[in-house]
Amino acid sequence: GSWEMDMLSGTLTWSDELYRLLGYNPGEFQPSFDRIVHHLHKEERDKFLELHNNSLEKNPDEIQMEWRIVRTDQQIRIMTTRSMIERDRNGRPTRVYGILQDITEQKLMQQQLERFAAAIEYAAETVMIMAADGAIQYVNPATQRLTGFTNPEVVGKNPFFTTQGVYSSDFYRSVWETLRSGTVWQGQMTNIGKDGRRYELEAVISPIRDTSGDITGYISIGRDITKELALEQQLRQSQKMEAIGTLAGGIAHDFNNILSAIIGYTELACEQLPESGQLRHNLLQVLKAADRAKNLVQQILAFSRKSQMGHQPIPFAATITDALKLLRPTLPSTIE
């Protein structure tokens, strides 16, 4: 809406559109400066009047301001005004004219974009925006922290036509062809950071379309799953160890039964032989070996049990000796 004020006569005129901006029908009342002030938001009035008066007295001849207006239907709208001041040869204002424009939708869109930008900046997920040709236009701080590369180092580069020593060029080409066809790509990939460290990324890359449906770019949102995969690997290893423990426990029980027979029959044979005979001496060595095997089986059974163990005093030196005997076969002979 346009308006004009003759400072000599005090006459104010404005266009029909300015009536509509305030919520009235054109020509519904005689335009007046007080009417404008009346429709200003109460928090804006004093500031508006102060700036208006100062502008007439000493400020430049062009003024641009932004205000909140309360329409007649109580809607609050954001307006911008641009005014021009004509003065006589003594510098006194003779005519003021300008335009009033409703920028509420633009302001709301700007606020929404700022919220989106803040969300992307503070997001824990990696965000990368690419142009239609695949060239990187922006990466958020999370991406920079994960990869080690800054925005200036990657902007303009195309991630789909590079080999990073992890995948062949055919892999990146297939991803690129999927996106160019307008299809969303999602999957897991291994990348290499600036410091050479590998990391696992679970990513979704989507085409960005304009109002006509044409692809104008792509956005990639990823999540670092390196630690999750490492924990998953540890869990699988733990499950393997648990399975091995269960297997060892089952074998140990069977072996214990075999040892019982060996020990029992050897003891019976020893009782039927004279104490000074060589055969009895040999059988006693068999009993010692079987006893050591029995102790080893008991340790394997203790390791494989899932129940909680109780605490009790033990001969510490003997425990160390037994542990060393158990470790000895698994250690290289160069270790003492």
Q: What is the pLDDT of residue 274?
A: 87
Per-residue pLDDT tens digits for 283-327: 998 998 898 888 888 877 776 666 566 788 888 898 888 778 778
Question: Average pLDDT, stretch 37-45?
Answer: 87
Per-residue pLDDT tens digits for 149-172: 888 888 888 887 554 557 777 888
183/185 Cα distance (integer angstroms): 6
Residues 6 or more apart in contact with residue 89 via CB below 8 angstroms = none
Residues 6 or more apart in contact with residue 87 via CB below 8 angstroms = 61, 93, 94
Going from the C-alpha of 335 to that of each of 318, 325, 330, the distances in angstroms are 21, 13, 11
Average per-residue pLDDT for the chain: 86
What is the value of pTM for the model shown?
A: 0.55
Q: Burial level of 230, CB count in 10 A (0-12/13-18/19+)? A: exposed
8/29 Cα distance (integer angstroms): 22
Per-residue pLDDT tens digits for 103-162: 999 999 998 988 988 888 888 899 999 999 889 999 999 999 998 888 888 888 888 755
201/146 Cα distance (integer angstroms): 10
Q: What is the pLDDT of residue 163?
A: 44
DSSP, collapsed to helix, strand or coil, labels residue 294 as helix
Residues 6 or more apart in contact with residue 185 via CB below 8 angstroms = 175, 178, 179, 203, 204, 205
pLDDT of 244 above 50: yes
